[in-house]
Amino acid sequence: MCSGILRRIAGLVGVVLIWGFTGWAQQVTHGPVVGGVTSSSAVFVVRVDAPADVQLELSPTGDFQSVIRTTSALASEDGYYFVKLFASGLQPETRYYYRVVLNGIPATAEAVGSFRTFPPEGAPRTFTFLTGSCQQAGDDPFSNIGNIFYRMAQEDALFLLHQGDWGYPDTTDEEAGRPGDYFPLIYDRVVETYFSKYDPNYPMAELFKTMAVDYAYDDHDMVDNNSDYTYPGIANSVRGYREMFPHYPLPNGDDGVWHQFTCGNADFFVVDNRSQRDPNINAFTIIPPNDFVQDTIVSFRPGPDHRLLTANPMVTGEDQMSWLLNALKNSTADWKFISTGTPFNPGMRGVIELAVLLQGDPNYAEIPTPAGVLTPTEIAVEFSDKWAGFPITIHRLLSFIIENRIENVIFLAGDIHTSAIDDGANSLIPELVSGPLDRTNSQTVAMMEQFGIYIYNKGGHTSSQSDLGNAYGRVIVFGKDSVRLEVVSETGEILAKHTVRAGFIPARVGATVVPLKLDFGGVPVGSQGTQPLIVVSTSIDPLVVERIESSDPQRFQVVPRHFTVYPGLKQRLAVIYTPDTNELHEATLTIYSNDPDGPITVNVRGYGIDLYAEKATTPASQVPREFQLLPNFPNPFNPATTIPYAIAREGQVRLTIYNLLGQPIRTLVDAFQPAGHYRVVWDGRDDKGMAVTSGVYIYELKAGNFVARRKLMLLK
């Protein structure tokens, strides 16, 4: 039964007439919304304000002289006055106009909306559809609507493929002064989300007048941020989808909303990657804060059972991944679109690994973002929410597509509140991400590029883009020939584009290198600075790096220079900068491998600083002006490394080597020292004289109130 609040809502909206309905005892409050469209059928959802027999009339001319009627249904309080109606016997590639019939009487003489049926299944056609995700609704205070939905409604598109985060009930509940977490624990709140989705005063209603819509929830509109199968309330979200959205048949509707449909010569596979995933945090080994490590430190180590689309042990029917693989293999369509809430691009693994490596670096302790200040640990965990956090699943899908030579698979994604396109060089499968329908742009892609991570090569909301407003995806299928992917702003400007030609199959070898630009800053002349470089093998065959060449090998070197990285794994490299003059140095590193996309280049730069420039003037100039803990050299090292430091005032000095757990390994200096410049050698042994294992260690200098730490790496 309806709760009191829903009855009050029903009473209020009973006087609101969508698209001009007036003068009837029962009134339409929400809809009609059309979905589940094929070449000969369609599904509608309508809500009224009181018990009524509800039906729709469809006319190919709009004058309703010749009509087709849908099934009828009784709107009742038990169903929150929502009804679902079915139309069949329609003609393909035909625009149908529709109006609501209440208790056998048309509610208006005019059509209230229209849509087009699809081309016959398998028939090659040119057609357009739209994609998008991440929007508020109604009068939400975070809404940033602008012109986006009016612009989209002007498109000559068959349908909108909505990829989730439609309404954000987990956050809007909090704004309303009630707990937002796990909103679907109360089914009435799920119902309220559909009031919000279909709000006649929200500009998206303009889209419903012109085209069909398909949809699968993401995290915020399923349960909560970054949700997975362990979250409570999923069953109510699935129930709400079945009862209040005009969806296609669900292969396993008790456990999730994944489904498939066909439009002409294109098949669409819409996955539910929230209710079918392991918790993201399970991919990490966690080191809790201690006396040495002030923040949580994580290491990305997903096990073989950390999976997406197959994770939920409560699924009773065919698991989602098996469904997807079988559907791809059995598809005879020329084009195969996989729609997913979160981005697929395996290159995002580089973001995770680089963020893990930057933990503990004081230069990156706080990273400002449009979502607030984040730590590297928080960034690593956040990006593990994408497909890149599930390398076993990526490998399984890519292996199946490549080994079975399944051509022309394209990914369509949302979630990250920004938009971008990659042609497959980084994503392996061409991918269009369209995230900011009316949500403030996260600038995620632009921020990745500021850190030297370039994994969307065809544009969008990149670091060079000044238009960071609302945008949507536009996809044009040109029969058997090609598919054009576009990111379109609300002003109609194309921010990114790429054409996928027929015959595309992902490469067996893929590489992501991060970062692609390195700045060492100032490094003392005669010493060494070290920056990390990470190479990730992203496809199904081993990545073989044959050699790495430096345009200035005297000053910039890479260790190691040749190696093999197996699928889903990474190789950490050290770029070593040894300045010999007090000036700016720049170089290019070229990585040659068996990646079919060719060599990868990394731009590096650094400044040589002469710490002893005043030494020749007066003896006082030899005294350091400040305490310093300088980069060790070489780094990585084997068997020994030199650690330079500077003491500005005499006092007790302690230099200690720690492991990442904060446990002391070796005390190199524990003595009273005069002011001056010092160097000490560590031979890779602990206080007992035993050789330590390969890995990353911390060296810490304490001198009076001065404390500084740096990382070093021992390679054997």
With respect to residue 710, please indicate whether it lies within any of the assigned structural domains: yes
Taking the CA atoms of 579, 585, 590 and 591 in sequence, report the sign of the dihedral they define.
positive
Report the relative pairing of strands 584-593 and 511-514 from DSSP bridges.
unpaired
With respect to residue 122, please indicate whether it lies within any of the assigned structural domains: no
With respect to residue 619, please indicate whether it lies within any of the assigned structural domains: no
Residues 6+ apart with CB under 8 A from 210: 113, 114, 115, 153, 157
Tell me: do 215 and 318 sit in the same domain: yes
* Of the residues 575, 609, 643, the one at which a domain ends: 609
Domain that residue 54 falls in = 4-116
At residue 174, the pLDDT reads: 63
CA distance 456 to 476: 20
CA distance 169 to 222: 9
CATH number at residue 272: 3.60.21.70
Residue pointed to by tokens 């018990």: 51
Looking at the 3D structure of the chain, how many domains does it have?
A: 4
Tell me: do 567 and 540 sit in the same domain: yes
* Of the residues 609, 637, 672, the one at which a domain ends: 609
At residue 13, the pLDDT reads: 40
Tell me: do 256 and 188 sit in the same domain: yes
CATH number at residue 681: 2.60.40.4070
**Residue-wise DSSP of 548-587:** EEESSTTTEEEESSSEEE-TT-EEEEEEEE---SSSEEEE
With respect to residue 699, please indicate whether it lies within any of the assigned structural domains: yes
Tell me: do 327 and 239 sit in the same domain: yes
21-25: long-range pairs with CB below 8 Å, 24+: 21/100, 21/107, 21/108, 21/112, 24/102, 24/105, 24/107, 25/50
Q: Report the b/e string of 623-633 with b at 16+ CB within 10 A.
A: ebeebbbbbbb
CATH number at residue 14: 2.60.40.380
At residue 641, the pLDDT reads: 86
At residue 331, the pLDDT reads: 97
CA distance 137 to 195: 10
CA distance 471 to 133: 10
With respect to residue 453, please indicate whether it lies within any of the assigned structural domains: yes
CATH number at residue 605: 2.60.40.10
**Residue-wise DSSP of 2-36:** --HHHHHHHHHHTT--GGG--S-SS-EEEEEEEES
Tell me: do 478 and 524 sit in the same domain: no
As averages over each run of 10 residues, the pLDDT of the chain (716 residues) reads: 38 36 67 97 97 96 93 95 97 97 92 97 97 75 75 96 91 63 90 93 92 96 93 95 97 93 98 93 83 73 92 83 96 98 96 90 79 88 96 97 98 96 97 93 92 95 91 98 97 97 97 94 81 95 97 95 95 93 92 96 88 37 82 83 89 92 89 88 86 87 92 82
With respect to residue 615, please indicate whether it lies within any of the assigned structural domains: no
Tell me: do 104 and 74 sit in the same domain: yes
At residue 312, the pLDDT reads: 81
CA distance 512 to 510: 7
Q: Is the peptide bond before 346 cis (omega within 30 degrees of 0)?
A: no
Tell me: do 553 and 646 sit in the same domain: no
Asked if 539 and 396 count as a contact pair (C-beta separation under 8 A), the reply is no
At residue 145, the pLDDT reads: 77
At residue 16, the pLDDT reads: 36
Tell me: do 656 and 563 sit in the same domain: no
Asked if 1 and 214 count as a contact pair (C-beta separation under 8 A), the reply is no
CA distance 583 to 563: 33
CA distance 198 to 19: 12
Asked if 644 and 612 count as a contact pair (C-beta separation under 8 A), the reply is no
At residue 618, the pLDDT reads: 30
Tell me: do 436 and 519 sit in the same domain: no
* Of the residues 454, 470, 501, the one at which a domain ends: 501
With respect to residue 353, please indicate whether it lies within any of the assigned structural domains: yes
- What distances in angstroms separate CA 495 from CA 48, 111, 341, 467, 675, one per listed residue? 41, 35, 21, 8, 58
CA distance 692 to 713: 11
At residue 6, the pLDDT reads: 41
Asked if 360 and 291 count as a contact pair (C-beta separation under 8 A), the reply is no
Tell me: do 443 and 566 sit in the same domain: no
Tokens linked to 389: 């956090």
Asked if 237 and 295 count as a contact pair (C-beta separation under 8 A), the reply is no
Tell me: do 494 and 525 sit in the same domain: no
With respect to residue 617, please indicate whether it lies within any of the assigned structural domains: no
Tell me: do 515 and 496 sit in the same domain: no
**Nearest one of 232, 219, 311 to 274, comparing CA atoms:** 219
